Amino acid sequence: MRPETRTSLSENPILRLTALRETEAVMFTGIIEGMGRVTGATPQNGGLRLDIGSDFDLDDVRVGDSVAVNGVCLTAVKVAKNDFSVDVAPETLSKSTLRGARIGYRVNLERALRLGARLDGHLVTGHVDGTGKVTAKRPVGNALLFSFAVSEAVSRYIVEKGSVAVDGISLTVNACYPKGFEISMIPHTAQMTTLGSKKIGEEVNIETDIIGKYVERFTRHAQGHKEGGAVDKTLLAKAGFM
């Protein structure tokens, strides 16, 4: 085995990444708990107040708690039984499909992960990277095969057999391309989420795996690379990842 020459937390990007994962507040898992429906959409100084009725019990949600709405982390500002309200900032509207939310709009919902709970999906922050568009949808065996178009700024962090959150749903990437990727969805997920009813041409929220972003940032800073350059085997080896 190659001897490890970087042992301090400040020098070894792997140790720094591990420490970050241990201290970072994990928000969501990408395992959708149920769906909801927008019952009110009120513009507010460039933002939007959304009232949402949930299909499942929200007894443990309080004002100030985080809820992922179609993969977007939002703060509950009002809670009454299975209804809650959130304020969506202009920046969030510009980066997500919530800008098109209207009364009757169906959304995926997930409450924030509690410390000590099982992590069945993958680490999802609720900070979407942007939107994608459904370009293909067809049955393959018992599954639905989806293809999505995304920008290169998003696709660079998507890897084959890695994880991606689509409208808040934790999914495995079947294949990825410079400007797109594919996933397979089992019948249960299609039935329990809004993605099963999405049509070709419709938009979805995309959040890539946060670990890849941190690896890239650490390796660049360690080697003095400029943002936006290629992350190749040479760079990863110099940074201690290979």
Which residue, among 186, 180, 88, has the nearest Cα to 134 in the 3D structure?
180
| DSSP label of 104 | T
Chain length of the chain: 242
Catalytic residue among 39, 127, 143, 190: 127
Active-site residue flag, 18: no
Which residue, among 105, 101, 102, has the nearest Cα to 93 in the 3D structure?
101
Catalytic residue among 18, 172, 197, 234: 172
Catalytic residue among 18, 42, 75, 94: 75
Active-site residue flag, 8: no
Q: Per-residue b/e over 8-27, b at no fewer than 16 CB within 10 Å?
A: eeeebbebbbeeeeeeeebb
Catalytic residue among 41, 73, 76, 165: 73
Active-site residue flag, 66: yes
Active-site residue flag, 89: yes
Catalytic residue among 29, 66, 170, 193: 66
Task: State which H helix or E strand residue 42 sits in.
Answer: strand 34-44
Q: Per-residue b/e over 42-73, b at no fewer than 16 CB within 10 Å?
A: eeeeeebebbbbbeeebeebeeeebbbbbbbb
Active-site residue flag, 188: no
- Write out the catalytic residue numbers: 28, 66, 73, 75, 89, 127, 172
